[in-house]
Structure 1
């Protein structure tokens, strides 16, 4: 399966259009998806993404996870 992030607003609605900072093609592993979000969350937040949900195919792995710093 492909590991992907769903890019969302705070209310859970999907951000549309998907920001340029987002990867839409997917990742080969959970570790690669998590590494990428760790490097890219600031750019996504600046582009209007407030939270993300990790998917393995159609299955929700976890989320939503807010991007605002604690």
Structure 2
């Protein structure tokens, strides 16, 4: 995902979030295969980058 962001986003990413339960497995150290990626992220979610004020991020996490 980091490589995707570096390649496809024009702005630096400060942090990332994902939905609870969205990551389904671990990846062992070593070569990462397509199967590993599909096992970890099986739902076909999209990756997006947005501009958000720090105060809005704080409010969003304060609600959770």
TM-score by length of 2: 0.29
TM-score by length of 1: 0.28
Which is higher, the Rg of structure 1 or of structure 2?
2
Name whichever structure is richer in strand by fraction.
1
